[in-house]
Structure 1
């Protein structure tokens, strides 16, 4: 450093104030599925969008027949379980504007970013299949023993809501406690309120069972959580 003549004291260059740290960018797109980051959710979302468009443009009589053919009621489960179980998950009850459609996109995207597509798909399918069987098998037994009429074997049952409920339960276990507890409390409260309304008790029980299936997956999924940096890279 040059010295100032006549004082013998060293002159330091004025210190520059550190630049204020910029806030990390808000990656809102991580809330939405992408082909590279969340291929399972992205592909399934595209498929549901296509079937929703078909349901919107097709006539009501045709769609009623399609829904009947995709229904996971007892009669169909006895005849062709390998057909109706996947077919029933191709449709969104209430359409693409249903709350379950939005929940599907946000929850499955968040879950897949944390544990990968295979485990996210496994949770969704476990909720869909096991909750369906847990609600329809008692109906079949009740009809067999004369507690319900035979028409109960043909109740219309389709949609993605059981898989979504299981995914919500699974995702809650991967969140911080201050997010986990309110989320579970809110979702459980909504499901219990629907059950107490007794409008569709079998389906409402199925939602609670699916939520419990998701919660039961916590020990497995917590060992599969991706590092934060790996998730952000997508």
Structure 2
């Protein structure tokens, strides 16, 4: 009975965040597919679906979508945990449409800014010209955005600012130590989520307040 009850609770949680778990299912399938490729074939395959400078200049929409369907490195389980902790919670809070809007915005903005920084670095002679073909796929920019918007869901000033400080360290420290274009992308993704937070949280509060909804309808 306990096992059955636990499974029911898990299923209810999954059903409450359909977008998160459909995305995870897609990532599981694509990760399994990568494990069946040779290292050379995998690199060639992912490069064609990367949001690198060459592919963005030729097929921007296609690679922006395709790059979010693959995980470089083939480690799916950690993302399953992160999606359940962050994505599912934000989707349950904002609803699937607003959660997806935050994900898309963070993914697109972070990609364009980080690739713009890389282009500047190549022209300045700081980065090698071969970087235009770098493999750049994954879901981490969207994850950073969701982690940013989640700040506005946490109750209590101590917990909220403690969480904010933690994510700022997680995504800010690599900018000081590594300073790669992906580090820039993660930081931009986080900032995008933080910018979206007040708007998303405000809209949810308004739609869930029946008195305010009635007042607006009577005007």
For normalisation by structure 2, the TM-score amounts to: 0.81
Q: 1:119 aligns with which of 98, 112, 133?
A: 98
User: In the aligned structure 1, how far is the partner of 2:180 from the partner of 2:126?
Assistant: 16
Larger Rg: 1 or 2? 1
CA drift at 1:40: 1.1
CA distance in 2: counterparts of 1:161 and 1:117, whole angstroms: 19
Pair 30,109 (structure 1): closer, same or farther in 2 beyond 3 Å: farther
**Please, which of 177, 181, 193 is the counterpart of residue 197 of structure 1?**
177
| CA-CA distance at 1:138 after TM superposition | 2.5
Quote the offset at 1:73 in angstroms: 0.8
Q: Name the CA shift for 1:129/1:44 in 2 (closer, same or farther; >3 Å).
A: same
Cα 1:189–1:62 change in 2 (3 A) is same
Secondary structure at the aligned position of 1:92 is classed as coil
Listed one character per residue, the Cα deviations across residues 183-216 of structure 1 (whole Å, up to 9, x for unaligned) are: 2212221222333331x62111111111010000
Q: 2:165 aligns with which of 168, 179, 185?
A: 185
CA contact under 8 A between 1:91 and 1:158: conserved in structure 2?
yes
Where do 1:192-231 residues align within 5 Å? Answer: 192-198=172-178, 201-225=180-204
Structure 2 equivalent of residue 63 of structure 1: 42
1:47 and 1:57 map into 2 onto residues whose CA distance is 16
Cα distance, 1:49–1:86 mapped onto 2, change above 3 Å: same
Q: Which residue of 2 aligns with 1:10?
A: none
Match in the other structure for 1:16: none
Higher helix share: 2
Determine if the alignment matches structure 1 residue 87 to structure 2 residue 66.
Answer: yes
RMSD of aligned Cα (Å): 2.6
Pair 140,225 (structure 1): closer, same or farther in 2 beyond 3 Å: same
Residue aligning to 1:173: 152
1:49 and 2:32 aligned: no
Contact 2:154 2:160 in 1 (8 A): yes
1:101, CA displacement in angstroms? Answer: 4.2
TM-score (norm 1): 0.76
Secondary structure of 2:69's aligned partner: coil
Aligned equivalents of 1:31, 1:150: Cα separation in 2: 50
Alignment size in residue pairs: 201
